[in-house]
Each structure stands twice: as structure tokens, then as C-alpha cells.
Amino acid sequence: MLDVRALTKRYRGLLAVDNVSFTVNRGEIVGYLGPNGSGKSTTVNMVVGLLEPSAGTLLLNGCSQSDDPVAYKRRIGYVPEEPYLYTHLTATEYLTLVGRLRGIAQARLDHAVPELLRLFLLWDSRYSTMAAYSKGMRQRVLLAAALLHNPDLLVLDEPFSGLDVNASLLFRSLIGMFAAEGRMILFSTHRFDMVEKMCSRVVILSAGRLAAEHRVSRGRAGESDSLEALFVRVTAQEDYAPVARRILDVVQDA
Amino acid sequence: MIDEWRDRRTGLLTRHFFHALFDFGVFTQEGADAFVRVMLGLFSLLVCLGLLLIRMYARKYALLFHAISAEPYLQAVLADTTLAIAFPMWIVALVTVLVSQSLFPDETDFRVLMPLPIGRGLVFGAKLLALALFAGVFTVTSHVALTPLVMLISGGPWSTAARPLGILVYWIVSVPASAFALLAVVAMNGAITVCLPGRHVHAATAAMRSAMLGALMLALSFVMALPTQSVRLAQHSRLMFLAPPAWFMGVARILLGYDDPYFFALARAAAVAFVSVAAIALGSYVILYRRFDRVMLHALEGSRRDSGRRRHVTNRARAAVRDFTAATLRRSALHQGVLVGLSACGVALAVNSLLSNGVCTWRLGDGAPPSGILSTVAWIPLPLIIVLGLAARSSLALPIEPKANWVFRMTERDDTRADQLHTAERMLTLFAALIPVALTLPIQWTVAGPRALLASAMTGVFGLLCVETLLRDWRRIPFTCSYMPGKHSVQQSTLAAVFLYLVPGAIGGALEMGALRQPSPAPGVVIVAVLSAVAFALRRWRRAKWRDFPLVFDDELPADVQVFRLS
């Protein structure tokens, strides 16, 4: 289980994340929603160990991030929001690099890397450096790299951006099966449709604070608000119709 | 109205391309602005250098003007005119090589500009105009800097032409000579881009850029040695046909009215070479204009070798960083250029010392070498060690895709950190110790015989000590940290450079001189043993530190560089 307790992050006096707590249980896909600037990416960066929390604790299957950061990070697979990759490397070189840094045996890499490239439909581009890849292809490389070491927790930050329909369907099936095997997924996104289709629970963040925790299945069954309505309500989003009208007026006047 | 609009777009695009020529991809906008300020400072330095040359040459020409015959003056003026033509050529070639990634419109230009309602002709035209402006700035500055020197040498009692005519002819000949240098670089890049399959273009142009940078650095020694070639020029040596500036000097002599078949032959060589490179450069622009997509959307091919696979990997962390470093140096023109360019500076320094001290003209069998030659071959390993070591360190310190370093941050472990840093140690050892030994041992052996072995052992140990100095604060995976030029103040950097260059240079040179001279090797062996023990102890201390301290990573490029506070 991922246990996030009273997580806080301050940047020179600015409170980016304020006392956020939630859990991700085994076999669960938890959606993580929030408007831009709500502290979503900061939380994700703390969960994967790229940012040091100012306060609070992070426990993954009982292993504390602050006590043993190496053991903690070893169990996590991460797909960042932007496809930050060494684009001068080929996909094979990148996956080999990540695998070796994760301490995976060379024999296992020799088997897994080509297989993953084939399955993620990257085999034909294996000799091209990733500079020539589309965003969707880079996203697929990142997911392959995140799964390479068979992690307990998969943290996905907008993993569907740039993916075509087929790749999105593959990702969805893959993530579903991964969770069904008893692993955990924290799924940070702006897409309600994906959250409603994939997640069992959703955590909503607003202005750095936990605004709501919501069981998606209840929403789907019509027992409570729709996710979108709940999000608009708890994050105090304004009515966008007048804003949209004003934008059109401006471009038509120009 | 439409013409005015087009002109405005051309101006806008030209300005954009001109600014992009100063962007090497490792600076932020503020850093790039600071870099431009540093470049402006360099222009002023260039003009000052021209004035300094006047002081150096004034005495020489005062003697020549008062000589009893015109012969010495006429000989000297040939060589010095060649230098005055060569120097701007070298500068223009160097800056063109440095910006060679922007000689043709690239993929970014294609993706950003093509969706806009502008034609391909406008993009190419603006690119060419920006390149011409860029080269023009350096051409004019270097010619302005050297005009006082030309003014000095083209006057006097033995001069056959009026001084204003001499200066006019210099500008008429030397500016096209600089254009030739620019066109030669464009032609070589264009030929590669046009002739090679698209997937190899990127790697080939990167390798070509590094090779040209290295060649230019080595050529600087020969440019500086041109004033010593007056006799060769006066004796109409065929060797001078190997030096492009001499071709243009031939043109200048023809324009000044000299009717000499040697100058005609040199001028013919200049004309043929100029027309050839201009035709290739123009041809490649035309072909690329017609097949725009070829250069814009070429597939970026990586290695077809299975890098790392099927190879026995004993240490995974070492292998990961080693292969990452090798791939980066193979494919990144910037990193390769810094490594090769700076290394070539060190080799050029050594070659310059050998040339100016007559080591090349001294032959084996002429008896015992003079002490000047012995001290030169004893001294040259030191600049090689220092400059090659700095070259390796600088290339490893430059970032590539800084935001992608998260993969190293997520996998950092105390037990593998030293292994991950091992690649930096290995590369610095190669450049600061092994290459200097390999380059200087044959020369020292030729001059001093078997005693060179002891001197070479000293070179190796000095190299290892240099590695320890350069890695003292090193806690970074290659290419993963931001880079800030001018981090230290000018005074601090100058003092460090002087200290690094003079003190270890003087001490090391003296010790190697002793090893090459002493009949008994015993003192040298003791020195090597003591210094080896020191290097070994420093290495152990550093490796222990690597295990204890976390790696350094910077996500963002620096917001601004620390500018040289000259005012």
C-alpha cells in the first residue's frame, strides 16, 4: 500500500502542497485530479522521490521514503508528464540504460528489451534516435521503461497525451491487468473520461490541499455527483461559457 | 505595399536566424544575451590585438626600412601579407564551423515556419542573409584590426606601391579570401548533407564539424608561423601551394603589378579554389532548396550495433554510464566539438613550441640535441596534460536534455555511485594521462633515446595528478548538470589559469628535463614513485568521498551567467 501522510511542500514561503494525505491500496487505480497549479505535479514528484517533502511521510508497503529512499524508489515505475528523454539515444539504448541503472541482469535485459520494443510497436524504429520519434512513441518508450523492473507502484502523469487510439486502448488494458495482479497505480490526469473508465477512486486537489476523495463506481452508478460536477464544485471553478464567449469576441474583433 | 510587407518579414526572419547563430542550445535566453556581450568584448579584444601587432612589427620594419637593400623588406612583406590575409580567414572559418549546425534551415525551422504563410525562398534567403551578416561582422572586425599592420608594411622607402593602394588591394583580396573560408565550410557541410543518405547526415555533419574544429586549431600554429616563411615564399617554394592564404597573397601581388609566374600560379590556385567551393556551396543550397524535406525530415539514425548487448557486462552501473557517455559523444556535435576543439588547442600549443624551437628541423644524427630542443620536448607534455584534461572535463560538464536526468535521480544508490562516476575518471585518465604519453613518448625518444621512458613515466604521473585536481569536486553523471559559463570572476579564472599553466608547467618541465638529461635514472625513479603514491592516495580519498556524498543534479539551466564585470 502507498500511504501518503500529511505531505507538505514549501518553496521559499510559498505553500505548494499543504498537508495532503491519501492511500493507494493493492490492486487499486487511484485517479489524481486537480486544476493547473493545484500542486498535483509537486505531489507526484514527491511520491516518486524526485522532490524532498518539507513535511509528512511517504510509505510504500511499509518502506519509508525518508528512511530508505533507495529501496523505496526501487519499487516505483514512473511515466512523467512531459516525455523527458535522452533523445539522442535509440529506444534500445535508452531501455538498456534504464535497465542497467535499475540493476537488472544483462541476460534479462537482452530478452526483455527487444520484446518490449516489439509489443509497444517500436521495433521498426529501433535504430532511429528518439529525436525522430513522435510524442506518442516517446510515451510508449517511457511506459516500457517504467515497467521494465516490474514495479509495485506505477505513477502515471498524463500518460495518454500524444497516444493514438490503438496505443490508448493498449495502455488501458495494460494498466487494468497490472492493477488486477495486485499492484498499485497512481494516475494523475486532467481527463475525466479516463478516470471514470479506469479508476476505482479519485483524489481531487485544489490550491495545494486535498479537496475531495471520491469513489468513482458510485458516481458511475448515479448515486452521487458526476465526477465533472464534483470537480467543478470542490475546486471552485468558474463558469466558462462567458469566458469562451469573450475569447471569440476578441478574435472576431482583431 | 506587398513588397514592404515582404521586406518586413524578411527582416524579421533574418533577425531571428541571426540571433539563433549565437544560440548553442545550452544557454537560457539570458545566458545567450550574456554570451553576445562576451562576443562583443572579444571583438574589442581583436582590435586591441591588431594594435599590439603594430607595436611588435614597428621595430622589425624600422630595421627593414633602413636596410641597405630592398631584398629583406620584399621577402618579409610577402610573408607578413600572407599572415594578414590568413588571420581573418582563420577567424571566419572558425566562427562558421562553430555555427555550422545553423548553415542550412533545419527541422525546427521547417516545423515552425512552414505552417505559416511564407515561402521556402524567403526562409532560405533569410538564412543566407543572416549567415552573410554573421560572417560579415567577423570579417570586417578582423580586417579593421589588421589594417594598421598592412598600413605599416605597405609603406616605407622600399615599397613599390603607394600606401593607400596597398591597403585597397589588401581589402580587395583579403575579404574574398575570408569569403572563401566561409564557402569552404559551407561547401563541406553541404556536400555531406546532399551526398549522404539522410539517416547518416546528422552523425556525419557532427563528425565533420569536430574534424574541422580540430584542424583549425592545429592550423593556428602554422598561421602564426607564416612570418617565418619569407624565405620559402621568396624562393618560390611549391610547399606554399599547400597554404590557401598564400594563393590570395599571389592575387595581391598581381594586382600590385608584379609580373611573376609564381604569383600567377598562386592566383590561379586561388581562383580555381574559390570558384569550386562557391559552386559546391551554391549547388548544395539549390539542391536542398528543391528537396527541402530531405534535410528537414531526415531519419535520425542511431547505432545499428547492439550497444552493450551480447557483451559480457560485469558491472551494470558502469556499463550504463559508459554507453550513455559514448553515445552522447558520438552523436552530439556540441560535446564532440568541445572535446576535439579544446584538445586540438593543446596539441597546437605543443606543435607551436616544437616548430618555434626548431625541433622539426633538428635531425637525429646531428649529434647531441641543443638544450633548447631538450627543454621543449621536456615541456610539451604539460600543456597537453592540462588542456586535454580540461577538454575532457568541459565536454562531460556540458548538459544534454537536462530535464531527462530524472532517470539517474530515481536510480541513484550509494553502492553504485562510484561505479556510475567511473566513466568520468576513465575518460579524464585517457585524455590527461594516456594520450599525452602516447603523443610525446615518440618525440622524446627521438631526441633523448631510452631516457624518454622515465620522462614518459613522469608524464603519466603528472597526468594522474591532473585527473585528481580536475575531479576534486566532481559529483555528477556526465551531461546531467546545467552549465554556466563565466561562473567565476575574471580575476579568479585568470589567476587559476596562470597558476595551472605556469607553476605545474615550470616544475613538471624541469623534472622531465632532469629525467631526459641525468645519466642516472635513480632520482627520477624516486620522484615518479613519490608522486605515484600521492596520486594513489588522492584517488582513494576521492573514491571514498564519491560513496559518501550524493550526486549533484540541476533541473533547470541557469537563469543568467555571471558576466565579466569589466567596467
Cell 541571426 belongs to residue = B18
CA distance B491 to B495: 6
Angle made by CA atoms B184, B186, B188, in degrees to the nearest 5 = 70
Cα dihedral angle (B526, B527, B531, B534), rounded to 10 degrees?
50
- Grid cell of B183 as nine digits: 564557402
CA distance B565 to B489: 8
Torsions phi, psi of A132, nearest 5?
-90, 0
Is A131's Cβ below 8 Å from some Cβ in B?
yes
H/E element, A76? strand A76-79
Residue B245 confidence (pLDDT): 94
Burial of A96 (0-12, 13-18, 19+ CB in 10 A): buried
- Grid cell of A120 as nine digits: 509497444
Residues of chain A found within 8 Å of residue B206, distances taken between Cβ atoms:
none
Higher-scoring residue by pLDDT: B146, A13 = B146
CA distance B452 to B343: 23
Residues of chain A found within 8 Å of residue B309, distances taken between Cβ atoms:
92, 96, 106, 109-110, 113
Evaluate whether B151 touches B163 at the Cβ level (below 8 Å): yes
Buried b (16+ CB within 10 A) or exposed e, B74-96: bbbbbbbbbbbbbbbbbbbbbbb
Strands A209-215, A76-79: pairing is: unpaired
| Most confident listed range (B220-229, B248-257, B478-487) | B248-257
Considering only A186-195, B278-287, B484-493, B519-528, which range has the smallest mean pLDDT?
B484-493
Residue B214 confidence (pLDDT): 87
Predicted model pTM: 0.77
Write the DSSP string, B343-408.
HHHHHHHHHHHHHHTTTTT--TTSSSPPHHHHHHHHHTHHHHHHHHHHHHHHHHHS-SSGGGGHHH
Residues of B at the A interface, defined by Cβ within 8 angstroms: 199, 202, 299-304, 306-310, 312-313, 316-317, 319-320, 323-324, 327-328, 331-332, 400-401, 403-404, 406-414, 416, 420
Give me the residue from A50, A84, A103 closest to B316, CB to CB: A103
Buried b (16+ CB within 10 A) or exposed e, B256-292: beeeeebbeebbebbeebbeebbebbeebbeebbeeb
Q: How confident is the model at residue A244 (pLDDT cuts 50, 70, 90)?
A: confident
Cell 591532473 belongs to residue = B466
Asked if A127 lies within 8 A of B302 by C-beta distance, the reply is: yes
Residues of chain A found within 8 Å of residue B334, distances taken between Cβ atoms:
none
Query: Mutating which of A47, A88, A109 best tests the B interface, going by the most B Cβ atoms within 10 A?
Result: A88
Q: What is the DSSP letter of A125?
A: G
Considering only B127-131, B175-179, B562-566, which range has the smallest mean pLDDT?
B562-566
Considering only A145-154, B263-272, B293-302, B507-516, which range has the smallest mean pLDDT?
B293-302
**pLDDT tens digits, one per residue of A59-92:** 998 888 888 888 888 889 999 888 888 988 999 9
Evaluate whether B374 touches B517 at the Cβ level (below 8 Å): yes
**pLDDT tens digits, one per residue of B414-442:** 888 888 999 999 999 999 999 999 999 99
Residue B93 has pLDDT above 90, yes or no: yes
Is A108's Cβ below 8 Å from some Cβ in B?
no
Give me the mean pLDDT over the B375-382 stretch.
90
User: In whole numbers, what is the pLDDT of chain B averaged over residues?
Assistant: 83
CA distance B79 to B232: 9
Evaluate whether B354 touches B380 at the Cβ level (below 8 Å): yes
Torsions phi, psi of B554, nearest 5?
-125, 125
Estimate the crossing angle of helix B381-397 against helix B435-448, to 10 degrees: 170
Nearest-CA distance from B113 to chain A in Å? 18
Topology at the third CATH level for domain A1-75+189-254: Rossmann fold (3.40.50)
Cell 487505480 belongs to residue = A29
Q: Find residue A11's DSSP bridge partners.
A: A14
Binding-face residues of A in 13-42 toward B, CB within 8 A = none
User: In whole numbers, what is the pLDDT of chain A averaged over residues?
Assistant: 86
**pLDDT tens digits, one per residue of A223-243:** 556 777 778 777 776 677 888
Residue A193 confidence (pLDDT): 83
Q: How confident is the model at residue B276 (pLDDT cuts 50, 70, 90)?
A: very high
Residue A212 confidence (pLDDT): 84
For A222, the 3-state DSSP assignment is: coil
**pLDDT tens digits, one per residue of B60-85:** 888 888 888 888 888 888 899 999 99
CA distance B544 to A173: 47
Residue of chain A whose alpha carbon sits nearest to that of B412 = A70
Rg over alpha carbons for chain B, rounded to the nearest Å, is 26
Domain boundaries, chain A: 1-75+189-254
**pLDDT tens digits, one per residue of A28-55:** 999 999 888 888 889 998 998 888 899 9
CA distance B424 to B475: 10
CA distances from A112 to A170, B140, B310, B561 (A): 18, 59, 13, 44
Q: What is the DSSP letter of B433?
A: I
Q: Find residue A184's DSSP bridge partners.
A: A153
CA distance B322 to A182: 36
Residue B489 confidence (pLDDT): 56
Q: How confident is the model at residue B385 (pLDDT cuts 50, 70, 90)?
A: very high
Residue A142 confidence (pLDDT): 92
Give me the residue from B332, B403, B410 closest to A88, CB to CB: B332
Strands A153-157, A184-188: pairing is: parallel
CA atoms within 13 A on the CB side of B533: 5
Asked if A100 lies within 8 A of B317 by C-beta distance, the reply is: yes
| Distance, C-alpha A215 to centroid of its chain | 19
**pLDDT tens digits, one per residue of B294-336:** 555 554 555 555 554 455 667 888 999 999 999 999 888 888 8
Higher-scoring residue by pLDDT: B328, B352 = B328
Closest among B503, B388, B504, B378 to B445, alpha carbons compared: B378
H/E element, B65? helix B29-65
Residue B406 confidence (pLDDT): 87
Asked if A127 lies within 8 A of B307 by C-beta distance, the reply is: no
Residue A136 has pLDDT above 80, yes or no: yes
**pLDDT tens digits, one per residue of B260-273:** 899 999 999 999 99
Q: How confident is the model at residue A127 (pLDDT cuts 50, 70, 90)?
A: confident
Residue A190 confidence (pLDDT): 84
CA distance B65 to B159: 9
